[in-house]
Structure 1
């Protein structure tokens, strides 16, 4: 997302809508068993969300919440099924040219927008062009399409008109996509929110009001978003009777309420007012033997972003190396999180992809690249201070404002001050949407951030740190790193063994430069009502898939 996992800078959102992508195809209701779909069971679920939805414009969304509700209310060419594999959405089939550069999609003719208009290939052309049009100001359009869709980079740089983007509609139900390079994961990429269609006439009629409320949105997916405005603290997903596959959708409604306090959320669960909630570390021990307790591993990784442009100290590689080694990650996952999360000593997560040549998990092949080591941290710190000609440093730490976020922010700040003599850390804890803005403007020193994958390939993690990349936003630049990563999408695009050799080398270089400080790979510890059935947890993209969800019998 982030920006994904989902893509994105993401908060430590361990409440109800706990952050991005978990292991693919997991059905969070399956542990309760049963396939009951009794007609007399009310098909309504009640969930909570960790914050408001920053944007419902698919070309402007950059966060998990936006992509989650876009995924529930919209449909692109494909969507992910229960096994985490692309299944037909608006597209029914596709063909690729022999060189892998041209993909021709056949679209279904029974898909409609919620206002009755047909969904056509022109809707995809309009949305994709809008996503890379520099006048739109999209972050994710250029990020997701540059180097993938033909001319996307040139269009986003204002060098050629949007009409030259490699996407066209020979007729209403045929979409032709031309790629810059062969992209083996392109089918899975089309499931991501940035590649959703938009109804041109509707978008243009709404103008600046587009996607700011239920009344200024159209939907073509399993649900519609009701009772929502951009500042709403509650809203509903309601079954979309105009959806082409409405007969598959069993739920009539899902309600959502913003709750940031863990105990408040748990109290609501205990009262039966909500059907799923996240647990903080102190509550895990209390509920770990409860029948409703569930832990799901995720492929999201959290880390500290170290902004090299705002504070002279962080431009020093030894200072960054010191920070990345100065906090006890095992204690953090055991004592602060206590939810099944594991220590991260690299960027690409465990149990995400395997190295083609050996079949070894990528994380195992790459190894531990940066570990907790106070002695080494203090040695790097002393070198850094000497090079800077100072004996003390002040840094601002930007983090989220949820209960769990605040506890973690304070713990990390304390660890850094305790283990790095002369360091003073000032906390700045803000709501999720404000933190996204501060990141975009590079207005921070250290930031607690995270990333969930957008597709099934290491490139979704390693391209984050390309020079001037849309999600870099911390001033990191290394030409050797750029070449290693960019070659995997160009000259090595059809040689998967060579691609992975580059990925492994690039990840090592990233931590030799101490560009970021990895913290942990997340898991979700939750209470889930036994009546919640058929909710799939995706390996990448939006966390939850509700299309096949239903309310089962609790007996």
Structure 2
């Protein structure tokens, strides 16, 4: 929902409702009330809503929560996430053979895996897919996630040839991968969409249209995408060529793009969708409902300051904005869904360090609500900029909840910072991501969800010239700490942990971003939905084992 919560947000930037699946989109098909239980001849149909259309189905180009979420249902890598977020067999069978230095992996692939067109899924598909992603000509924003593979960074930056990448199809069903350093969470990392295989012949035939429509996409996972109508609806149906198709219980998953929370609730109340995310004004009305649920997610939301802009480049401007918004009031009044006000980048209750303490315990932040401090920093900023009046534009998503949130930020900043005028620019999800990638904004509301179980999935977002930095912030000490944590400290867990924490401290001390909150989710889910797996990292949900039982 990385999944950037992701660009959630993967991701990642993110969806405003931090519930990629709970506000997951659903087509309101007329089969919504016809699912049967065990032994029934009726179709088993799951109907959902989504807050956004799918930006792309090209695993080399995807950067957002929605794309990763849908690709997790329709594609499969060497492994996929199972219960408790553990990597389970996908196209790979069993445990890989690992060298003594833990840097060389040999995977045996199952011979019964096929693409939806009947072609076998082979080791060559993985070699082609990974090389395509890292080829500089592909311009993949997510190529950096592969930098643990030998020569990946050098290939991606044009310093080495693509053929020098540390991946080799030994034969059709044996894949050899070499790493730069040992990586304890490598199997879990391989569940992420960027590591999916690609059918070379098919992709090359589609050219730049690959992944843009259902007809221009090939599938090797539990489901296929169909009925994809831009900004309207899409559907998943079982992939008859999937090697484990007997495990798939659902006959259809229908999605309808719904950007208004009340509309989504109306669809739920009339039985046209089975899960619905609740916005703040609806939580109190439903908290006694037996189908009501809340959870704290591992995604965080924040403001990006584009330092290519003279105003945003001023640290006192960033400090003033950071301290001028009452985040506690915001999460209680605007969200009211289990989200918590948060002053850091990496979420709490995500990962523990070598000392078994929560990673965030070692991160410091002075970016909490402080009205006096905000006014003081603002006056300094105006003097430094030689301006009495300052106008800033806030880029955000185009949903109704995003509008309400932006209006709250606008009211707080204009009230608390004398001379500030905040304009709101709402954009559809895909267009917003594009503007951020181009650096065409001043202030942007964004979010991120983890792609793998390690703090680095958050921390390295902001290295100089990083694909997801997108705000021209640069700090050499921060860069060195991240580089060390990825390199020479790889086998020194305590020192590596401390380096990541110190890097995050630098980011926050400079007020490079404005942390806002760690996302919660309040939602209603029908009790007849069984085995609906939610994940803390990677794709937000998995439908492979979902079943419909006991629906009347």
> 8, 17, 26: which is aligned to 1:13?
17
Partner of 2:538: 541
> CA 1:38–1:297 in 2, change beyond 3 Å: closer, same or farther?
farther
Mapped contact 1:284–1:338 kept (Cα < 8 A) = yes
Would you say 1:243 and 2:242 are equivalent positions? yes
Q: Structure 2: how far apart are the matches of 1:16 and 1:492? A: 35
Q: Structure 2: how far apart are the matches of 1:303 and 1:255? A: 31
Mapped contact 1:15–1:265 kept (Cα < 8 A) = no
Partner of 1:322: 320
Partner of 1:124: 126
Q: CA deviation at 1:5?
A: 4.7
> CA 1:369–1:149 in 2, change beyond 3 Å: closer, same or farther?
farther
The correspondence of residues 224-303 of structure 1 with structure 2, limited to 5 A, is: 224-228=224-228, 231=230, 233-303=232-302
The correspondence of residues 517-528 of structure 1 with structure 2, limited to 5 A, is: 517-528=514-525
> CA 1:18–1:521 in 2, change beyond 3 Å: closer, same or farther?
farther
1:199-230 C-alpha deviation (Å, 9 max, x unpaired): 0111111222222222221111011111225x
SS of 1:55's partner is coil
Moved more, 454-463 or 241-250: 241-250
Q: Structure 2: how far apart are the matches of 1:131 and 1:425? A: 39
Mapped contact 1:17–1:50 kept (Cα < 8 A) = no
Partner of 1:161: 161
Moved more, 200-209 or 466-475: 200-209
Q: CA deviation at 1:163?
A: 1.2
Partner of 2:433: 436
Partner of 1:30: none
Partner of 1:341: 339
Q: CA deviation at 1:418?
A: 1.2
Partner of 1:388: 385
Partner of 1:69: 70
Mapped contact 2:371–2:416 kept (Cα < 8 A) = yes
The correspondence of residues 82-121 of structure 1 with structure 2, limited to 5 A, is: 82-92=83-93, 93-121=95-123
SS of 2:206's partner is helix
1:394-446 C-alpha deviation (Å, 9 max, x unpaired): 11100011011110011012111111111111110111001001001001111
How large is the RMSD of aligned CA atoms in angstroms? 1.7
Q: CA deviation at 1:516?
A: 0.3
> CA 1:419–1:19 in 2, change beyond 3 Å: closer, same or farther?
farther
Moved more, 299-308 or 283-292: 283-292
Moved more, 426-435 or 209-218: 209-218
Q: Structure 1: how far apart are the matches of 2:365 and 2:469? A: 23
Would you say 1:352 and 2:350 are equivalent positions? yes
Aligned residues: 536
Please, which runs of 5 or more residues in structure 1 have no aligned partner? Answer: 21-34
Q: CA deviation at 1:90?
A: 0.6
Partner of 2:476: 479
Mapped contact 1:112–1:244 kept (Cα < 8 A) = yes
Mapped contact 1:183–1:489 kept (Cα < 8 A) = no
Mapped contact 1:7–1:140 kept (Cα < 8 A) = no
Would you say 1:365 and 2:362 are equivalent positions? yes
Please, which runs of 5 or more residues in structure 2 have no aligned partner? Answer: 25-35
Mapped contact 2:8–2:65 kept (Cα < 8 A) = yes
1:136-161 C-alpha deviation (Å, 9 max, x unpaired): 121112x2123x11222222222222
Mapped contact 1:345–1:370 kept (Cα < 8 A) = yes
Partner of 2:29: none
Mapped contact 1:292–1:529 kept (Cα < 8 A) = yes
Q: Structure 2: how far apart are the matches of 1:398 and 1:486? A: 31
1:39-80 C-alpha deviation (Å, 9 max, x unpaired): 445311111111110100110111011101110000001110
Mapped contact 1:101–1:182 kept (Cα < 8 A) = yes
1:281-326 C-alpha deviation (Å, 9 max, x unpaired): 00111111111111122000000001110x2121111111111111
Q: Structure 2: how far apart are the matches of 1:297 and 1:54? A: 26
Q: Structure 2: how far apart are the matches of 1:16 and 1:138? A: 23
SS of 1:263's partner is helix
Moved more, 175-184 or 526-535: 175-184
> CA 1:41–1:361 in 2, change beyond 3 Å: closer, same or farther?
farther
Partner of 2:495: 498
1:235-255 C-alpha deviation (Å, 9 max, x unpaired): 111111211111111111111
Partner of 2:28: none
Mapped contact 2:97–2:106 kept (Cα < 8 A) = yes
Q: CA deviation at 1:16?
A: 6.6
Mapped contact 2:291–2:524 kept (Cα < 8 A) = yes
Q: Structure 2: how far apart are the matches of 1:208 and 1:439? A: 22
Partner of 2:462: 465
Mapped contact 1:140–1:470 kept (Cα < 8 A) = yes
Mapped contact 2:18–2:519 kept (Cα < 8 A) = no
Q: CA deviation at 1:12?
A: 0.8
Mapped contact 2:77–2:196 kept (Cα < 8 A) = yes
Mapped contact 1:369–1:508 kept (Cα < 8 A) = no
> 129, 133, 136: which is aligned to 1:134?
136
Q: CA deviation at 1:365?
A: 3.5
Mapped contact 1:41–1:552 kept (Cα < 8 A) = no
Larger RCO (CA within 8 A; separation ≥ 6)? 1
Mapped contact 2:392–2:442 kept (Cα < 8 A) = yes
